[in-house]
Structure 1
């Protein structure tokens, strides 16, 4: 299973319960994460909002954590850009999965 598959699997589980403020919070955390962070401090920071993601980060290698967080940051940013009505529902999980599949390496 690839890191992108891990992100898709995790988001399929957690995305339906997330609000726009949750995603804004996650993207903000990811944007502030130190580049040298091996994922442990970001895992701790994400645990209240995304406990499944935090648990996944703890099992990945350093390279996989870097890739996972890069894809998660990208998909979070695109999700916010695609969420046209802040009070309405966000884009569907299918749109998010498509973005992950098309996300550049």
Structure 2
């Protein structure tokens, strides 16, 4: 079961997921929301749309913009609607 871990804590875990461009996208419901806070950062992907971010806060440490999601993905990426992915030192194990 894929698991996302940062700073020694499981952030997300689910046997339901999507894989896009080598990234595992977890259902948003699998995300432990006690470890996230909203970010104002947004980026644009030409085929997925506008990505928004969360900052991780675990054991007093912050990892800015380590979680991303597409609130309203373009049609080609509709399979990742309602999902989040990780980077910036977050370990994702299949």
TM-score, normalization by structure 2: 0.28
More helix by share: 1
TM-score, normalization by structure 1: 0.27
With CA pairs under 8 Å and 6+ residues apart, which has the higher RCO, 1 or 2?
Answer: 1
